[in-house]
Amino acid sequence: MQDKTEGKQKPKDQQSGASEKNLVVAGQSVTRTDDPAKVTGGLMYGADYAHEGFLHGKILRSPHPHALIKSIDTKKAEALKGVAAVLTGKDVPGRNGFGAILPDQPVICEDKVRYVGDGVALVAADTEEIAHEALSLIRVEYEVLPAVFDPRDALKPDAPKVHEAGNLLSDNKLRKGDVEKGFLEADIIMERTYQVPFLEHAYLEPDVTLAVPQPDGTMLVEGPMQAPFTVRRNLAAVLGVPVNRVRARQIHMGGGFGGKEDSPIDIGCRAAVLAFHTGRPVRIALEREEVTLQTCKRHPMIMEIKIGARKDGKLLAFEGVIYDEQGAYAGLGPIIPPAGGSHIHSMVMMPGPYEIPHAKVDAYLCYTNHPYGGAMRGFGAPQVHIAHEQMMDELAAELELDPLHIRRINAFRLGSATATGQVLDQSVGLLDTLDACAESFGWEERFGQNEYVDAESCKRRGIGVGMGWYRTSIGTAGDGCGANISVHEDGSVLLYSGITEMGQGAFTVLPQICAEALGVAMEDVRLVKPDTDQVPESGPTVGSRSTTLMGNAIIMAAAQVKSSILEMASEMLRVPAERLEAKDRLVYDRDDTRKSLAFKEVAARCMATGKRLIGQGWWTPPAASLDPETGQGNPYFVYTYSTHMAEVLVDVETGEVEVTDYVAAFDVGKAINPKALEGQIEGGVAMGLGYALMEEVAMVEGIPQNINLQDYLIPTTLDMPDVKPIVLEVENKLGPYGAKGIGEMPNIPATPAILNAITDACGGRVRSLPADPEHVFMAIREAGGPPER
């Protein structure tokens, strides 16, 4: 059994500081706290809870992507035995609208539908079968309207209006330097257009929600959810009650990837409205097909790039246009304080992790009559990376440069200024990832060796590189995260955090940080699961923010308790508190380690004498900024960097692609749990591979065609190469033990690395995804046929 992991490596400069300080729990590959329940089938997911006594909620969706509702007849459905409620738009007690950022999606549509996932009536019944039958008895009369399915069409003056205010939801600009001047100085100017389709998250667990009216009038909503506080905020408005009359509790999630930021609001509001009317618990469990039809998707985009460079490869000017398709509702697209949207993130990231003196981006976010765009692992970054990373390769090819060389001379380094004018003043390990990846992959030896595998074969080998960066935190419009800690007289600890577990390992990494910060053992810490009645506001579990923001909040909370512990131990040991250290269940004198006490002994004395043993941490990143006219400022406080390299075999006769080798290097600041972090990398690469080669929600006249997992393909064991992760640690001075975010980064450079490898292998370039056999075959044909032998 050969372990291909390179493990942690030292970057060449910006050596880690705090991250190496004698850590006991943080930095260890601790077994995940939820593993025993997962491997025995004991872990309870939303669908696993007994639902005797629950009503079953179902949503009648529109068959048309754009139509006026002329009438709804619910009489027959209401008369059906076992039906407890049939609701239409007029029945929503408060605001008839929800949304993570802008509440523009009706809980139940009253006058108009804007996509085929729109709900026009809700049913609650004793069984799912009766609820289904009730839906079939509802008669809705529609007047079908002309629809719009392309963001460029949506901007035309005569386009059908999806919303009254017009189809342009957000129009954003980035202006740095003078691009015209840059293009005048350039030896070469190239223009390309890249296009990406809708993507489905395809989390394995279909959405489910339980709305349970409480005796005191509070509404409890439970289910898998990434953003309990956003769910609560929306529910309160929809029910017309104060925020403190709603309680949102997270049940362990079977995958989210950003999708379960929006969808629990959608079904949570609907279940709650049914529960409000019936006074009974209501359960809505979406079927797989409903998940695809109704919930958010990764935004499709059309991306135009004009790039200018010197003949040595140095970038001088970048001009980009993004037509970002929002679909029917705002979802997580636009920027409206206090929430940041994916659209701004796309704009900020579009010029790539490169120093470019002159940059200009125009980004249009447009409503259409398609399903709506939401967060999906990378939040607007994967799309633009597909554009700029292919552009870099196309430029390199035109200049006859090694794709690595052109990246190396332009890549961010310490002190670089981004396209928003942000000076990167710490934790910039991009070039370190390039070097480590190239060395491990053997780029120099392999580059230019693109050949047919043998004289008879129609398979040709190629390699490709993709570089990337990703923010930590929500940024742009503010972020903040709270944690509470209480230590008990026996030394045991409760950690209260609103960060959710969706498989990424937060319920393991956060207790690790807590144990390290207090000086106790991992098993001494019990995490109180996200429940808006119990945990402090923590923000959503998104934006690769959990480890860093919550980690910092935990360390702040721990510091408050620890000061009590050290003061008390100082009295007990008669040693100045400054000389004391708390580590691994002991409090001891650094200068004379024989002088020590058990942590629990000190905690017991604190409790007995009335010393504070609770801590409350609140961490806010440095203020973010972004000028609305120029797109200049510091939108996020730190970034994670990465380089990926892939080898592919392309069958030049069929267009089939096989990824045969893969190395992915990351600068993560500090790996708090290296094994869990590797898991993030390997899984992220799989998602990026799916984006490159097979994934697309195919739309025909606004209707998703491949709505189950038989037709919407995601990578299987046979599609995946043996990914080799490399982890570098360039300390983030603002992170817990030096850490920064990782969750979203791994899938971002994967897609362009594979696309670039395909071109290296077969000569054709797929600029409109996915690079499935048909598209690859056509690209080879456009390139003038397969390369000569």
Partner 1 sequence: MNALTLSFTLNGNEVSIEISPNTLLVDLLRDNLRLTGTKVGCRDGECGACTVLLDGTPVNSCILPAAKVQGRSVTTIEGLAHENGQLSEIQEAFMHEGAAQCGFCTPGMIMNSTALLEKNPQPDDQEIRESLSGTLCRCTGYRKIVQAVVTAGEMKKSQG
| Chain residues that interact with partner 1, rule: CB under 8 A | 1, 29, 31-32, 34-45, 47-48, 50, 201-206, 252-257, 287-288, 502-505, 675-676, 678-679, 682-687, 708-710, 714-718, 720, 722-723
CB-nearer residue toward partner 1: 381 or 750 = 750
Cβ–Cβ contacts within 10 Å for residue 774, how many? 12
Q: Given strand 723-728, what is the order of strands in its sheet? A: 7-9, 723-728, 657-667, 639-651, 459-471
How far apart, in whole angstroms, are the C-alpha atoms of residue 187 and residue 531? 59
Q: How far is the CB of 76 from partner 1 (least distance, A)?
A: 25
Q: Helix or strand or coil: residue 359?
A: strand
CB-nearer residue toward partner 1: 3 or 445 = 3
Q: How far is the CB of 656 from partner 1 (least distance, A)?
A: 16
CB-nearer residue toward partner 1: 118 or 661 = 661
DSSP strand pairing (723-728 vs 282-285): unpaired
CA distance from start to end of the chain: 37
Q: How far is the CB of 202 from partner 1 (least distance, A)?
A: 6
Residue 750 contacts residue 690 (beta carbons within 8 Å): no
Q: How far is the CB of 279 from partner 1 (least distance, A)?
A: 25
At 722, list the tokens.
């043996």
Strand-pairing partners, residue 142, are 69
Count Cα neighbours of 462 within 13 Å in the Cβ-side half-sphere. 24
Residue 413 contacts residue 435 (beta carbons within 8 Å): no
Q: How far is the CB of 129 from partner 1 (least distance, A)?
A: 11
Q: Helix or strand or coil: residue 770?
A: coil
CB-nearer residue toward partner 1: 450 or 547 = 547
Place of tokens 């309990």: 228
Cis preceding linkage at 752, omega within 30: no
Q: State the DSSP H helix or E strand holding residue 657, giving kind and residue range, or none if neither.
A: strand 657-667
How far apart, in whole angstroms, are the C-alpha atoms of residue 520 and residue 210? 37
At 763, list the tokens.
């000569």
CB-nearer residue toward partner 1: 34 or 153 = 34
CB-nearer residue toward partner 1: 91 or 287 = 287
Q: State the DSSP H helix or E strand holding residue 72, giving kind and residue range, or none if neither.
A: strand 67-73
Q: How far is the CB of 742 from partner 1 (least distance, A)?
A: 13
CB-nearer residue toward partner 1: 43 or 783 = 43
Q: How far is the CB of 209 from partner 1 (least distance, A)?
A: 16
Q: How far is the CB of 7 from partner 1 (least distance, A)?
A: 14
CB-nearer residue toward partner 1: 436 or 687 = 687
CB-nearer residue toward partner 1: 336 or 720 = 720
Residue 667 contacts residue 726 (beta carbons within 8 Å): no
Q: How far is the CB of 657 from partner 1 (least distance, A)?
A: 17
The residue among 784, 661, 759, 751 whose CA lies nearest residue 450 is 759
Q: How far is the CB of 384 from partner 1 (least distance, A)?
A: 23
CB-nearer residue toward partner 1: 8 or 161 = 8
Q: Please name the amino acid found at residue 496.
A: Y
Cβ–Cβ contacts within 10 Å for residue 628, how many? 11
Q: Please name the amino acid found at residue 449.
A: Q
How far apart, in whole angstroms, are the C-alpha atoms of residue 753 and residue 708? 28
Q: How far is the CB of 175 from partner 1 (least distance, A)?
A: 39
Q: Is 478 left (phi over 0), alpha (psi -120 to 50) or beta?
A: left
Q: How far is the CB of 83 from partner 1 (least distance, A)?
A: 21
Q: State the DSSP H helix or E strand holding residue 246, giving kind and residue range, or none if neither.
A: strand 246-250
CB-nearer residue toward partner 1: 182 or 674 = 674
How far apart, in whole angstroms, are the C-alpha atoms of residue 386 and residue 339? 25
E-assigned strands of 89-245?
112-113, 119-125, 139-144, 168-176, 188-196, 208-213, 219-223
CB-nearer residue toward partner 1: 534 or 706 = 706
CB-nearer residue toward partner 1: 103 or 684 = 684
**Residue 546 gets which letter from DSSP?**
I
Q: How far is the CB of 376 from partner 1 (least distance, A)?
A: 11
